[in-house]
C-alpha cells in the first residue's frame, strides 16, 4: 500500500482535473476574440487577399500568367474587358495582380516561419539557460541587428543569381533577433513564477517544462512579434525586388510596381496604384489580425479589463 501511495504524485500531472478550467478558459478566449473588431477586419482582409491571389487565377485562367506582348493594347484604361486596365506589355492588369500576390505572400510566410522558429528557440535558451547563454545569444543578435538586412542580399546577388528559396532563407537568417528578444524578455519574467518553480520542483523534464508550461504563455508575444517580423520581411523583399535584386520577375507586386513606374508619368495610374494598395492591405491585415489576437489572449493589454 505504501508503494502504491508513493506513485500517486508522479501520476497526478497526467490526470485531467483541470480540464473543465481549460475548457472554460477556451470559451472565455473565444468570447473575447468575437468582440475584437481588429481581428475580424484583419482576418477578412487576409482571407480576401488569399482568395484573390490563389483562387483568382483559376477563375481568370485565360488571362493569368500570360506572356504574350500586345503592343496595340498597351496602357488601356480600366473597362469591362479589363477592370484594372492593361500594363506596358498590353497584359491584363487584374490577372497579373492575382498572380503577383502569390510570391510575396508565400515568401513572406516562409521567411517569417523560419525566423520565428529560430527566434523562439534562441530566445527561450537565452531566457532559461542562465547568464552565459543569455549573454552569448544576445550578443549574436546584436551582431545580426548591426548589419542592414539588404546587405547580405546584395552580397549574395554579386556572387550568384539566387532563387526565391535562397532569398527566403537569407532574409529569415537576418530577421530572427526581434523574435528572440521578445521571447527572451518574457521567458525571464516567467521563469521565476510559482507555476514554473513547481514544474522544476516536481522533476518535470526540461523539454516538457518548456513545451507545456512556458511556450503557451509566450503565445501573445509570438503572435504580435511575428506580425512585425512578417511586415519587415515583406518590406525587405519588396525593396530589394524594386531595385531588381529580390523576388524574381515577372509577376509579383513589387516588380509590377517598379516596372510600370513610367506609366505614372503618362497618367496611367492604374498600373501602379493597385499593386501598392494590395501590398499595403497585406501588411495591414496581418497587423490587425495579430493585434486582435493579442487583446483576446491578454485582456489586460491596452488597459482592457479581463472578461
Burial-class residue 52 by CB neighbours within 10 Å (0-12, 13-18, 19+). middle
**Cα–Cα distance list, 296 to 34, 35, 131, 282, 292 (Å):** 9, 8, 33, 22, 6
Give Dmax over CA atoms of the chain in angstroms.
Answer: 93
Please name the helix (run of DSSP H) or strand (run of DSSP E) that holds residue 224, with its range, or none. helix 219-242
- At residue 199, the pLDDT reads 82
Calculate mean pLDDT across residues 1-23.
44
- At residue 21, the pLDDT reads 52
* Cβ-contact 117, 181 below 8 angstroms: no
Give me the residue spans of the domains in the chain.
Answer: 49-55+91-297
Calculate mean pLDDT across residues 253-274.
75
Identify the residue with better confidence: 178 or 95.
178
Model confidence at 213: pLDDT above 90:
no
- At residue 91, the pLDDT reads 82
Query: Which tens digit of pLDDT belongs to each residue from 49-88?
Result: 999 999 988 877 655 555 566 767 778 888 888 888 888 7
- At residue 4, the pLDDT reads 45
Mean pLDDT lowest among 11-15, 45-49, 179-183, 191-195: 11-15
Using DSSP's 3-state secondary structure scheme, residue 123 falls into: helix
Domain 49-55+91-297, what fold? MetI-like fold (1.10.3720)
Model confidence at 182: pLDDT above 90:
yes
Burial-class residue 122 by CB neighbours within 10 Å (0-12, 13-18, 19+). buried
Mean pLDDT lowest among 13-27, 43-57, 117-131, 175-189: 13-27
Model confidence at 306: pLDDT above 70:
no
Q: CA–CA separation, 87 vs 247, rounded Å?
A: 20
- At residue 41, the pLDDT reads 95
* Cβ-contact 42, 292 below 8 angstroms: yes
Mean pLDDT of the chain: 81
Q: How many residues does the chain have?
A: 307
Q: CA–CA separation, 143 vs 127, rounded Å?
A: 18
Q: What confidence category does residue 90 fall into, taking pLDDT thresholds of 50, 70 and 90?
A: confident
54: which DSSP letter? I
**Residue % of the chain over a pLDDT of 70:** 81
Query: Which tens digit of pLDDT belongs to each residue from 293-302?
Result: 888 877 766 5
Calculate mean pLDDT across residues 113-139.
94
* Cβ-contact 174, 262 below 8 angstroms: no
Using DSSP's 3-state secondary structure scheme, residue 92 falls into: strand
Q: CA–CA separation, 307 vs 297, rounded Å?
A: 11
* Cβ-contact 243, 91 below 8 angstroms: no
Residue 121: cis peptide before it, omega within 30 degrees of 0 = no
Amino acid at each position: 500500500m505504501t508503494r502504491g501511495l508513493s506513485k500517486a504524485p508522479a501520476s497526478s500531472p497526467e490526470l485531467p482535473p483541470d480540464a473543465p478550467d481549460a475548457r472554460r478558459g477556451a470559451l472565455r478566449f473565444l468570447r473575447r476574440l468575437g468582440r475584437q473588431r481588429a481581428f475580424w477586419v484583419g482576418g477578412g482582409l487576409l482571407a480576401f487577399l488569399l482568395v484573390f491571389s490563389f483562387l483568382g487565377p483559376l477563375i481568370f485562367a485565360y488571362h493569368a500568367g500570360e506572356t504574350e506582348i500586345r503592343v496595340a493594347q498597351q496602357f488601356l484604361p480600366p473597362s469591362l474587358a479589363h477592370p484594372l486596365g492593361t500594363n506596358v506589355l498590353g497584359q491584363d492588369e487584374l490577372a497579373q495582380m492575382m498572380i503577383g500576390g502569390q510570391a510575396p505572400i508565400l515568401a513572406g510566410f516562409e521567411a517569417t516561419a523560419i525566423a520565428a522558429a529560430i527566434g523562439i528557440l534562441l530566445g527561450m535558451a537565452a531566457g532559461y539557460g542562465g547568464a552565459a547563454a543569455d549573454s552569448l545569444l544576445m550578443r549574436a543578435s546584436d551582431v545580426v541587428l548591426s548589419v542592414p538586412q539588404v546587405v547580405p542580399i546584395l552580397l549574395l546577388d554579386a556572387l550568384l543569381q539566387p532563387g526565391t528559396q535562397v532569398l527566403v532563407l537569407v532574409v529569415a537568417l537576418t530577421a530572427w533577433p526581434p523574435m528572440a528578444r521578445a521571447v527572451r524578455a518574457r521567458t525571464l519574467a516567467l521563469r521565476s513564477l510559482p507555476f514554473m518553480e513547481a514544474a522544476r520542483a516536481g522533476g518535470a523534464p526540461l523539454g516538457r517544462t518548456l513545451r507545456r508550461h512556458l511556450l503557451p504563455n509566450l503565445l501573445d508575444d509570438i503572435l504580435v512579434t511575428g506580425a512585425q517580423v512578417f511586415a519587415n520581411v515583406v518590406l525587405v523583399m519588396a525593396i530589394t525586388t524594386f531595385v531588381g535584386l529580390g523576388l524574381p520577375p515577372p509577376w509579383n507586386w513589387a516588380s509590377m510596381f517598379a516596372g510600370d513606374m513610367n506609366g505614372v508619368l503618362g497618367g496611367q495610374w492604374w498600373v501602379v496604384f493597385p499593386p501598392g494598395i494590395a501590398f499595403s492591405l497585406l501588411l495591414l491585415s496581418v497587423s490587425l489580425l495579430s493585434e486582435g489576437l493579442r487583446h483576446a489572449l491578454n485582456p489586460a493589454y491596452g488597459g482592457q479589463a479581463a472578461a
